[in-house]
Amino acid sequence: MGIEIVLDKCTGCALCVKACPFAAIKVKDKKAIIEANCTLCGSCVEICKFDAIILERPKLSDKDLSDYKDVWIFVELREKEIKKVSLELASKAREIADTLGERVGAVILGGKVKHFCDDIAGYGVDIAYITENENLVEYNTNNYTGILTGLIMKYKPNIVIFPATHLGRDLAPRVAASLKIGLTADCTGLSIKDGLLLQTRPAFGGNIMADIITPNTRPQMATVRPNVMKVSNPDTSRNAEIISTPVEIDSKAKRIIIKEVVKTTKEGVKSLDEADIIISGGRGMGSSENFKILEELADTINGVVGVSRAAVDAGWRPRSDQVGQSGKTVSPKLYIACGISGKIQHQVGMKGSDTIIAINNDPEAPIFDIADCGIVGDLFEVIPALNEELKKNLSKN
Ligand SMILES: Cc1cc2nc3c(=O)[nH]c(=O)nc-3n(C[C@H](O)[C@H](O)[C@H](O)COP(=O)(O)OP(=O)(O)OC[C@H]3O[C@@H](n4cnc5c(N)ncnc54)[C@H](O)[C@@H]3O)c2cc1C
């Protein structure tokens, strides 16, 4: 078991040499040779056009399972900072690792990332596994998958948790497929039961909550939605051990080329899942044009506009702005629900908000059950009036 070159099929094309991030393949006499530092990451297998590389990872026995230790998180970066969801994952990983008596590892990939280690250490990370390379500044599926798979093969973590962001949802399944192990996507809860990771997630359209365990393979892997785990108070006195893994990336050997990064949020405005203030509209808004009054209010108080599923289904707003069970989970400081009835599927996505204000003309609407402040009235009168008052008051300060 391991990795093998099928000599009859190998043409010595060297594509595998370029694809290997760990510089563990060379070509001699027109045949590829795997070196001892191979991590079995599988990048070469994916790129080989001639099926000339066979990779077989051994099935794990009970004894092998106990070789896997520590709780890892994948740290997602946004430009010059750590994304909030990574702090949520670090805080949760600390809790899980304490229950298991294990350490917390954080994988950070990018151009220059060493300076992030102290920041993430404060949230309970013991070891930062960093890889710095100019070709990792932008996310690239193949490079990130190869490196992460290689690190997992080398250090054998017990658990690996990814954010269920666009990036995490692309990366985690690739790593799982590469390792031929399972992955529980979109978890809303993680805990330890009988030494195993209990991964809780909605199933059958949210009608039941499923508890999933992974008893036979390692690592146990899950993605977790942003804003469902709480960020712990940082301990700035903590330091993390840094383990740096150098890689060689041939920028010309990219199989995926990012041509353009298109930002959907305005410059300086936070995305929906990181916003401090969200003003959401539902079916009560009546049309896509009517959302203009929510955008005006959002401009006044530096907020972001969200939406209920009914309004998305009506074609008034994009699905990426949907809050709720089948949309995003948010936890802003202030959530203003306008013309939203507050069905349970909407509530699960926003009830973690610090303060909830509901505007609805039906005094019996369930949204009032969870609102800190409720305004019973016509939103087309209330919102413009509220905006005018806020503008007056803000201009005075
Ligand atoms: C599996 C599944 C997943 C789902 N996922 C989600 C999800 O992620 N997010 C989500 O939101 N929903 C989700 N839903 C749908 C959810 O059950 C509701 O149908 C939806 O949230 C209703 O949206 P709404 O509150 O905008 O519309 P409605 O329930 O129709 O409520 C509209 C409200 O607007 C009020 N109103 C009307 N006119 C005015 C006015 N002029 N001024 C003030 N108030 C006014 C009404 O009194 C009413 O309370 C899901 C459903 C299922 C089955």
Q: State the pLDDT at residue 262.
A: 78
Residue 148 lies in a domain: yes
Res. 251 pLDDT band, cuts 50 70 90 = confident
Decide: 85 and 163 in contact? Cβ < 8 Å. Answer: yes
Q: Which residues constitute the domain of residue 287?
A: 272-396
Residue 121 has pLDDT above 90, yes or no: yes
Q: Is the CB of 360 under 6 A from ligand 1?
A: yes
Q: Is the CB of 205 under 6 A from ligand 1?
A: yes
Q: Is the CB of 380 under 6 A from ligand 1?
A: yes
Q: State the pLDDT at residue 280.
A: 98
Domain stops at, among 230, 246, 262: 246
Question: How far, in Å, from the CA of 385 to the mean position of ligand 1?
Answer: 24
Q: Is the CB of 326 under 6 A from ligand 1?
A: yes
Considering the domain architecture, whether residues 323 and 301 belong to the same structural domain is answered as: yes
Q: State the pLDDT at residue 209.
A: 87
Q: Is the CB of 328 under 6 A from ligand 1?
A: no
Residue 146 has pLDDT above 80, yes or no: yes
* CATH at residue 95: 3.40.50.620
Considering the domain architecture, whether residues 165 and 207 belong to the same structural domain is answered as: yes
Residue 11 lies in a domain: yes
Q: State the pLDDT at residue 183.
A: 97
Residue 1 has pLDDT above 70, yes or no: no
Q: State the pLDDT at residue 255.
A: 74
Considering the domain architecture, whether residues 221 and 278 belong to the same structural domain is answered as: no
Ligand 1 atom at shortest distance from the alpha carbon of 282? 26
CA distance 332 to 316: 23
Residue 265 has pLDDT above 80, yes or no: no
Segment 190-210 shows an average pLDDT of 89
Number of domains in the chain: 3
Out of 188, 279, 283, mutate this one to test ligand 1's pocket (max ligand atoms within 8 Å of CB): namely 283
* CATH at residue 340: 3.40.50.1220
Ligand 1 atom at shortest distance from the alpha carbon of 326? 8
Considering the domain architecture, whether residues 328 and 344 belong to the same structural domain is answered as: yes
Residue 264 lies in a domain: no
What is the per-residue pLDDT across 322-337, written as a single tens digit (0 to 9) for each? Answer: 999 889 999 999 999 9
Q: Is the CB of 283 under 6 A from ligand 1?
A: yes
How far is the first Cα of the chain from the last one, in angstroms, to the nearest whole number?
A: 70
Out of 188, 273, 341, 359, mutate this one to test ligand 1's pocket (max ligand atoms within 8 Å of CB): namely 341
Nearest CA residue ID for atom 37, ligand 1? 284
Considering the domain architecture, whether residues 107 and 194 belong to the same structural domain is answered as: yes
Considering the domain architecture, whether residues 235 and 346 belong to the same structural domain is answered as: no
Q: State the pLDDT at residue 203.
A: 82
Nearest CA residue ID for atom 47, ligand 1? 362
Considering the domain architecture, whether residues 214 and 306 belong to the same structural domain is answered as: no
Considering the domain architecture, whether residues 121 and 200 belong to the same structural domain is answered as: yes
Percent of all residues in the chain with a pLDDT value above 70, rounded to a whole number = 97
Considering the domain architecture, whether residues 112 and 176 belong to the same structural domain is answered as: yes
Res. 160 pLDDT band, cuts 50 70 90 = very high
Considering the domain architecture, whether residues 205 and 308 belong to the same structural domain is answered as: no
Res. 260 pLDDT band, cuts 50 70 90 = confident
Residue 167 lies in a domain: yes
Q: Is the CB of 366 under 6 A from ligand 1?
A: no
Question: How far, in Å, from the CA of 55 to the mean position of ligand 1?
Answer: 50
What is the per-residue pLDDT across 75-101, written as a single tens digit (0 to 9) for each? Answer: 999 878 999 999 999 999 999 999 999
Q: Is the CB of 309 under 6 A from ligand 1?
A: yes
Question: How far, in Å, from the CA of 276 to the mean position of ligand 1?
Answer: 22
Considering the domain architecture, whether residues 355 and 279 belong to the same structural domain is answered as: yes
Out of 326, 330, 335, 380, mutate this one to test ligand 1's pocket (max ligand atoms within 8 Å of CB): namely 326
Residue 263 has pLDDT above 80, yes or no: no
Residue 254 lies in a domain: no
Q: Is the CB of 347 under 6 A from ligand 1?
A: no
Beta partners for residue 77, in sequence order? 82
Range with lowest mean pLDDT among 61-75, 200-214, 245-259, 268-282: 245-259
Mean pLDDT of the chain, nearest integer: 93
Q: State the pLDDT at residue 60.
A: 72
Residue 150 lies in a domain: yes
Residue 251 lies in a domain: no
Q: State the pLDDT at residue 257.
A: 79
Question: How far, in Å, from the CA of 308 to the mean position of ligand 1?
Answer: 6
**HEC states along the chain?**
CEEEECCCCCCCCCHHHHHCCCCCEEEECCEEEECCCCCCCCHHHHHCCCCCEEEECCCCCHHHHCCCCCEEEECCEECCEECHHHHHHHHHHHHHHHHHCCCEEEEEEECCCCCHHHHHHCCCCCEEEEEECHHHCCCCHHHHHHHHHHHHHHHCCCEEEEECCHHHHHHHHHHHHHHCCCCEEEECEEEEECCEEEEEEEEHHHCEEEEECCCCCCCEEEEECCCCCCCCCCCCCCCCEEEECCCCCCHHHCCCCCCCCCCCCCCCCCCHHHCCEEEEECHHHCCCHHHHHHHHHHHHHCCEEEECHHHHHCCCCCHHHEECCCCECCCCCEEEEECCCCCHHHHHHHCCCCEEEEEECCCCCCHHHHCCEEEECCHHHHHHHHHHHHHHHHHHC
- Separation of CA 287 from chain center: 32
Residue 259 lies in a domain: no
Q: Is the CB of 270 under 6 A from ligand 1?
A: no
Residue 120, token pair as written in the block: 């993430």
Res. 205 pLDDT band, cuts 50 70 90 = low
Q: State the pLDDT at residue 124.
A: 97
Domain stops at, among 11, 32, 56: 56
Domain stops at, among 12, 36, 56: 56
Considering the domain architecture, whether residues 78 and 46 belong to the same structural domain is answered as: no
